[in-house]
Structure 1
Amino acid sequence: MQIPQIRIQTTKAQLGLNIQKPKQHIEQPQADLQISQPAAELSIHTTSGQLHIDSSQARRDLGLIGPLEATRNYAQKGKQAALAGIARRAREGEQLASIENGGNALQAIATSKATPHKKPLGIKFVPSINSVKTSYIPASVDINVQTYRAQIDATINKPIHNYTQGKVTGYMLQYPSIEIDVTI
């Protein structure tokens, strides 16, 4: 006995896909930047130092004096010498006027003029110590600086963004099928 047979054959469906990938382009332009730095202002004020040197005493010690002071000194010495001469002549006149009282007035006058004057010996420092006087007023410096902040202007540019969407399309590579075969 033969048994009837059913034979079923199927073919699976196959789907194909066409894929277009999306395209994206992003660009970021640099920011527009402007920077300016104002120059600082600098002012310097100085007061000069002052050095005072008084060497008049040292010059006097060396015999270097000005014409006005020399004239005063010579006038003073001349006046003293004239007064000393007058006093000496008056003294000698009194000695000669009292010659009748005895004594050797002429001899005393002559010996006083013949005796040399003694000068002291010793070391003399010319000019004298501490004869030059100095004083100093130091200089002063005043510095003023005025600084300014930098001026920064920044303009941010938006990004450039281009986007093309992707696309997916499907198609049938193979259609499904069923074949049924019956044999008896």
Structure 2
Amino acid sequence: MSISPVPQLQIRQQYAQIGIDADMGQWDIEQPRATQELTTTPSRLDMHTQPGQLSIDNSKWHDALGFGPSLEAFSRIYSECKNIALQGIAKIVEDGNRMAAIQTGENAFSALAKESTKDIDFYEYMYMGDASLDNIDMSYQPAKVDIQYTPAHVEHHVTVNPPKIHYQRGKLDIYMKQYASVEFIPPSIDTKR
């Protein structure tokens, strides 16, 4: 007699599987350059000039030529009057002595009359100033220069621009790739016995 095998129940199990589809997020970062603003004030040079001055005083030169001020000329003549008077007295005494000297045989009256017709030389009386190389006075005042310098000025303003950041999120899909299942397979039963 043969022994028939014992019927067996087969159980098949399938595990669940989860599918994940993910993409990384993307960063987009842009850094604009800083904004610079330069303002320049140019330098300035101011010059103020007063011209030089040359002064020439030739009054002594004119005075030495006899064209000086009348008051000074008369003052000189006045100061010489005493000498002129003394010279005149001396001339009269000399003429008197000539006329008294009969023994010389000179016709003094005729000679003195002849000499009296000569022009009086007033130039022997110094009413003019002294002739000199230093009769012209010169003075020079140099030019005055006023220089004012203002240096240039630079203003530098920098504005830092913030970065521009854009973020694009990634994709994350979670789905059931395979569902869990349990399958029972019953044994085949021979019902003919």
* Superposition TM-score, scaled by structure 1 size: 0.51
Which residue of structure 2 aligns with residue 56 of structure 1? 59
Residue 83 of structure 1, CA deviation: 3.1
Residue 102 of structure 1, CA deviation: 4.7
Which residue of structure 1 aligns with residue 128 of structure 2? none
Percent of aligned pairs with the same amino acid: 30
**CA-to-aligned-CA distance 1:65-90 (integer Å, 9 cap, x gap):** 12442222332454443333222111
Which residue of structure 2 aligns with residue 153 of structure 1? 157
1:93 to 89, 92, 96: 96
Residue 97 of structure 1, CA deviation: 3.3
Task: After TM superposition, list the pairs within 5 Å mapping 1:167-178 onto structure 2.
Answer: 167=171
One-letter amino acid matched to 1:84 = Q
* Secondary structure in structure 2 of the residue aligned to 1:53: strand
Which residue of structure 2 aligns with residue 84 of structure 1? 87
Structure with bigger gyration radius: 2
Contact 1:57 1:132 in 2 (8 A): yes
* Secondary structure in structure 1 of the residue aligned to 2:147: strand
Report the Cα distance in structure 2 between the residues aligned to 1:105 and 1:62, rounded to whole angstroms.
Answer: 38
* Secondary structure in structure 1 of the residue aligned to 2:161: coil
**Unaligned regions of 5+ residues in structure 2, if any?**
1-22, 122-131, 174-193
In the alignment of these two chains, the number of paired residues is 145
* Secondary structure in structure 1 of the residue aligned to 2:99: helix
Report the Cα distance in structure 2 between the residues aligned to 1:154 and 1:76, rounded to whole angstroms.
Answer: 91
Contact 1:29 1:158 in 2 (8 A): no
Contact 1:29 1:159 in 2 (8 A): no
2:32 to 21, 28, 33: 28
* Secondary structure in structure 1 of the residue aligned to 2:68: coil
Which residue of structure 1 aligns with residue 187 of structure 2? none
One-letter amino acid matched to 2:164 = I
**Unaligned regions of 5+ residues in structure 1, if any?**
1-18, 119-127, 170-184
Q: 2:115 matched to 1:106?
A: no
Report the Cα distance in structure 2 between the residues aligned to 1:109 and 1:141, rounded to whole angstroms.
Answer: 73
